[in-house]
Structure 1
Amino acid sequence: MIRRTTAAKGLALAAVLSLGLAACSSDGGEAGGGETTDTNGNEETSAEPLTIGTILPVTGTLAFLGPPEIAGVGLAVEHINEAGGVLGNEVSVEWGDSGDTTDYSVANSTATDLINKGVSAVIGAASSGVSLAVVDTFAEAGVMQISPANTATDLSGYGPFFARTAPPDTVQGAALGSLILDGGHCRVGFLVQNEAYGTGLRDNVQQAVEAGGCEVVYGGTGGGQEFAPGETNFGAQVTDLLAQEPDAISIIAFEETVAIVNELVAQGWDFNGTTYFCDGNLSNYGDDFDPGTLEGVQGTLPGAQADEAFREELNTWYTENEGGELADYSYAAESYDATILAALAAVRGGATDGQTIADNIRAVSGSEGGTEVSTFEEGVAALEAGEEIRYVGQSGIGPLNEDNDPSSAFIGIYTYGADNTYTYERQIEGSI
C-alpha cells in the first residue's frame, strides 16, 4: 500500500482544510537494484528501483481534480507492487503539488524537488498551462512526463519525454461543438480563461460550431474577450455576452465557474438546455447553488466511463490512504493507465531510467501491435514471453501515436440534475 505522509506544514491552513490533502512525500520502496535483461533479450543492465513522481493539483483552481488523479496513481502502484514490482523491485512514489496557472512557482518548485529526489517518470500535470511551464525542465533532466489530463494541442508531439493518456482538444472540441449544435443552438457565446487549455479548447469548439453553419457571437478566437485565470468578477463580461443574445453559452474554466454561474444567475440566464461545461469544470456542485440552478446543463469529459468495480477500488484506496471519499472520478482512469504504461515501458526496456521509459512507452501502448493485455501482471508475463503488447487499460484509449497522443479516445457526455450534480449519459469515440 502506498501511503502519503504529510510534509511542508507551511501549506495554508485553509487549503488543507478545504481539500483534505497536503503536499506530501511517500514511504520508500525496497532498496537495491539487480542485474537483468530487457524483454527483447538485449545485454544485461542494472535496474534501480523505479520511483514515480506526481505533479497533480493539491491546491489551486483545479484542486477538485486532485483526489481522483492521486487515487489513480496510488492504486496503480499498489497493483504493480502486488504483482511483484518492476524488474524485481517495489515501485515508490514521491507526491507533489502542481498548483495552477495563477502561480507557476508551485509547479516549478515541485519539478525541482522531484528531480532532486531521483524520479524517472512523473504523472501530471492536470493543467496544460502548468505542463507547458515545466515540461522542458523534466526533459532536460531526462525525466519522462505523462499527463493524465492535458488536452492542449500545443503539447502534441512536444518531445520524446512528454506523453499523455488524455486526447488533445481536437477530439473533445469536436464532441462539445457537436453537442451544442445537436441542442439546436446557432448563436454561441464563450466565457474562456486565457491560457493554453482554455483558448485551445475554445478554438476547436468554435471550428465545430462554424463548420455546422452557425456563429460565435462572443468570446471567439481573436476577440480578446478571455478572462485571466483566477478572475472572480464577471459582471462586465456577462453583461457584454448577454447583450449579444446568444442561444447557448460554453463555459471553459476551472474553479472560476462558480463565480461565473452566480453572475449568470444574477443577470437572469436560464441554464436549462442552453449551457455547456467541459472537463475543466465538470464537477459536482451540490449546495454551491440553489437547487435546480444547473438542471439541464451538459458537459463533456475525455475518457471512458470507469466501471463500478474500478471505482470501488479507487474509493477504497483513497479512504485508506487519504481518510475521505472520492466525490467523482475525473481522470482517475487516465492517471492509473499513465502509471501502468510507465512501469511496463521500464519492464520492456529492462531499466528504470527516464530515457528507457520514453523509448518504450509507445510500444507497450500498442504502437507495434502485439498481445492485448489489461493489467500490469498480464503485460509483464507477455513481455517476458518475448511478445509485443498492447496495454488496453481503464481509460479505453488507443495506442500512442507518433505525437505521443492517444490515437483514439472516448468522450463522455454528462447532464446535471436538479441537485446540481452530474450523471453519465453516453460516450462517443473519436480518432486523432
Structure 2
Amino acid sequence: MKASVKRSAIFASAAALLVTAIGATGGAGAVAPADEDGELKFGYVLPETGQLAFLGPPQIEALKFAIQTMNDAGGVLGEPVPPAVGGDEAGQEAVAAQSADRVLAAGVDVIIGAAASGMSLAFIDRVTGEGVVQCSGSNTAPTFTDYDDGGFYFRTAPSDVLQAPVLAKLIRGDGHNRVALIGRADDYGKGLVDSTKKELEDSGATVTLAETYDPKSTNFDQIVQKVKDSNPDAVAVIAFEEGAQILQTLIETGLGPQQIGVYGADGLRSEELPSLVAPGNPQRLAGMKGTAPASASNAQFVKDLKEFAPKLKELQFAPQVFDCATTVALAAEQAKSDNPQDFAKEMVGITKGGEKCNTFAACKKLIAAGKDIDYDGVSGPLDFTDKGEPGQATIEVYAYDSQGKLQTVRTEVSTSQG
C-alpha cells in the first residue's frame, strides 16, 4: 500500500537530520532534501546494464544534453543545474528500487526514469511518496494513466493506448485478417496486447491468440507452438531483448517474415535486432515491421545530440527524455521554485494553451516576461492531459529492408479520445 509522505526539511544548526523514508522496502532511511534550496537537482534510474541496456545511453546522454542546454541559457532559477545523480535499473525490480533509494538519498528534486514500465512500478511509490517528481521518457504501459501518484508522476512517452491504433492499422493495412498477439507478462506487454487486440477486433480482424509469456523463460517453444496452432496470417510480438529468441523460434517454425506478417513494437526497435536473431544472416528478418514512439524525426535535435555525444548509436526515447528534463526545468521557472510540490503543479499547464516556444531558452524568456507558455518539445507537441501524459503522440512505423537494415517508413499522429 502506498504511504503518502510529503517532503519536509528539518534543519539542525548547519546539518540536515535524517528522516525515515516511510513506504520504502525494509524502512530504509534517506536524507530528506530541502524543500527549496535554489538549485534544481536531477537524478535518474535508467538501464546501464540488463536486457534494456541499449536504451540507457540515448536516455542518459539526452538528460546530460538537456542539462547543458539549460546551463547554456543561464541555468534554472539563476543557478547552474548540477550533474544528474545516476542509478541503474538493471532490468531487475529489486535493483531498480535500491537505485531509486540511493538517488533519493542524494536530495534530488526529480528522478528521470525508469526506462521500463515494470521498473518504474518497482519504485514509483518511493519517489512520489517522498514528494519528488518522477518523469519517464519511455514508460508506455496504460497502468500509469490512472495511477495514484499524488500528482508527482509524469511521462513524455505516449501510452500504448495511443500506439495500439497505429500498430493495428499497420497490420490491417498489409491485408492481414487473422492475427496472433503475444507479449511479456508485465504491464507493458499486457497493456499493449490488450489495446492492440481491441483495435484489431474493432476493425473486423480475428485475433487468433492473445497471450503473455514469462519474459525470464529460457525457452519459448511453447508460446510459438500456440501461435502456429492458432493458424494466423500475422503475428505481433511485444517483447524486449528476449524477443530475439522468440523471433528466431518463429522463423525456425516456418512463421518468419517470408511466410506471414511479423510485427513488433518499441521494445524490439533496434538496429542490432537482425544480427541477434540471425547472426551472419540479417536478411532473415527482412520484411518485419513495427511501431514505436517516434524518436528520430527531429533532424536538428538528432544533429545536436550526436555532436554532444558522438559515440551514440541508438536514439530511441532520447527526445522524450530531453523533453522530460526541459519540462521540469520550465515548470520550476514558472513556479519560481525548485520545490517539487510547487513545480509539479505547473508541469501540465506549460505544455499547452499558451504562447508557443520550442527551446528552454526561448520559453524561459517568455516566462520571465510574464507570459503563459506552450512548450512544444523535440519529440513533438506534448499537450499534457490532466493525468500528466501526452494527449497525442507521433508514432513511427519502422521496417527491416531486404538487407535487414532498420528503416523508418513513416510517422503518424495518434490522438487520445479521452
Common fold by TM > 0.5: yes
Q: Which residue of 1 aligns with 2:266?
A: 279
Aligned partner of 1:188: which letter?
V
Q: Which residue of 1 aligns with 2:108?
A: 119
CA distance in 1 between partners of 2:172 and 2:81 (Å): 47
Corresponding residue SS for 2:380: coil
* 2:282 equivalent among 291, 311, 320: 291
CA distance in 1 between partners of 2:129 and 2:223 (Å): 41
Q: Which residue of 2 aligns with 1:147?
A: 136
Unmatched tracts of structure 2, length 5 or more: 1-33
Matched, 1:201 2:192: yes
- Contact 1:365–1:389 (CA under 8 A) maintained in structure 2: yes
- Contact 2:319–2:379 (CA under 8 A) maintained in structure 1: yes
Q: Which residue of 1 aligns with 2:73?
A: 83
Question: How much has 1:317 moved relative to structure 2?
Answer: 2.3
- 1:248-275 C-alpha deviation (Å, 9 max, x unpaired): 0100000001111111122122314601
Aligned partner of 2:263: which letter?
Y
Q: Which residue of 2 aligns with 1:313?
A: 304
Q: Which residue of 1 aligns with 2:370?
A: 386
Unmatched tracts of structure 1, length 5 or more: 1-32, 34-44, 320-324
Corresponding residue SS for 1:392: strand
- 1:264-316 C-alpha deviation (Å, 9 max, x unpaired): 12212231460101001111125322131111111101136433332122223
Question: How much has 1:61 moved relative to structure 2?
Answer: 1.6
Relative to structure 1, the CA distance from residue 94 to residue 64 in structure 2 (aligned partners, 3 Å threshold; closer, same or farther) is same
Corresponding residue SS for 1:299: strand
Corresponding residue SS for 2:131: coil
Corresponding residue SS for 1:276: strand
Q: Which residue of 2 aligns with 1:60?
A: 50
Q: 1:321-400 maps to which residues of 2 (within 5 A)?
A: 325-366=311-352, 369-400=353-384
* 1:132 equivalent among 108, 112, 121: 121
- Contact 1:138–1:144 (CA under 8 A) maintained in structure 2: yes
Relative to structure 1, the CA distance from residue 161 to residue 209 in structure 2 (aligned partners, 3 Å threshold; closer, same or farther) is same
* 2:214 equivalent among 228, 232, 240: 228
- 1:347-382 C-alpha deviation (Å, 9 max, x unpaired): 11111122122111112212xx21111110011100
Question: How much has 1:416 moved relative to structure 2?
Answer: 0.7
Corresponding residue SS for 1:88: coil
- Contact 1:111–1:138 (CA under 8 A) maintained in structure 2: yes
Question: How much has 1:318 moved relative to structure 2?
Answer: 2.4
CA distance in 2 between partners of 1:98 and 1:257 (Å): 20
CA distance in 1 between partners of 2:177 and 2:317 (Å): 31
Aligned partner of 2:59: which letter?
E
Corresponding residue SS for 1:142: coil
Relative to structure 1, the CA distance from residue 336 to residue 183 in structure 2 (aligned partners, 3 Å threshold; closer, same or farther) is same
- 1:74-124 C-alpha deviation (Å, 9 max, x unpaired): 111110011110011111211111122xx2111111110111001101111
Q: Which residue of 2 aligns with 1:69?
A: 59
Q: Which residue of 2 aligns with 1:404?
A: 388
Aligned partner of 2:275: which letter?
D
- Contact 2:155–2:324 (CA under 8 A) maintained in structure 1: yes
Q: Which residue of 2 aligns with 1:50?
A: 40
CA distance in 2 between partners of 1:405 and 1:304 (Å): 17
RMSD of equivalent CA atoms: 1.6
Matched, 1:96 2:87: yes
- Contact 2:237–2:265 (CA under 8 A) maintained in structure 1: yes
Question: How much has 1:424 moved relative to structure 2?
Answer: 0.9
Aligned partner of 2:266: which letter?
D
- Contact 1:157–1:402 (CA under 8 A) maintained in structure 2: no
CA distance in 1 between partners of 2:389 and 2:191 (Å): 16
Aligned partner of 2:368: which letter?
E
Question: How much has 1:70 moved relative to structure 2?
Answer: 1.2
CA distance in 2 between partners of 1:55 and 1:349 (Å): 25
Question: How much has 1:179 moved relative to structure 2?
Answer: 0.8
TM-score scaled to structure 1, two decimals?
Answer: 0.84
- Contact 1:284–1:327 (CA under 8 A) maintained in structure 2: no
CA distance in 1 between partners of 2:163 and 2:295 (Å): 13
Identity %: 33
- Contact 1:96–1:110 (CA under 8 A) maintained in structure 2: yes
Corresponding residue SS for 1:306: coil
> After the TM superposition, which segments of 4 or more aligned residues of structure 1 sit over 4 Å from their partners?
none
Aligned partner of 1:283: which letter?
S
- After TM superposition, the structure 1 stretch with the greater mean CA deviation from structure 2, 111-120 or 309-318, is 309-318
Question: How much has 1:46 moved relative to structure 2?
Answer: 5.5
CA distance in 2 between partners of 1:174 and 1:294 (Å): 24
- Contact 2:295–2:317 (CA under 8 A) maintained in structure 1: no
- Contact 2:266–2:291 (CA under 8 A) maintained in structure 1: yes
- Contact 2:182–2:193 (CA under 8 A) maintained in structure 1: no
Aligned partner of 2:363: which letter?
G
Corresponding residue SS for 2:267: coil
